[in-house]
Structure 1
Amino acid sequence: MQKGSLENHLFRKGQEPLGWELRLKIAIGAARGLAFLHTSEKVIYRDFKASNILLDPVYNAKLSDFGLAKVGPINGNSHVTTRVIGTYGYAAPEYVATVP
Structure 2
Amino acid sequence: MMRKIKLTRANKSILLKSLAPYYYRERALGHSTQESGRLILKINSLPADKRASFSTDEIRLMRTAINQLRNERLAKGQYTDAADDMLLKLF
TM-score of the pair, normalised by structure 1: 0.35
Q: Which has the higher contact order (CA 8 A, sep 6+)?
A: 2
Instruction: Indicate the structure (1 or 2) with the bigger Cα radius of gyration.
Output: 1
Counting helix residues as a fraction of each chain, which structure ranks higher? Answer: 2
TM-score of the pair, normalised by structure 2: 0.38
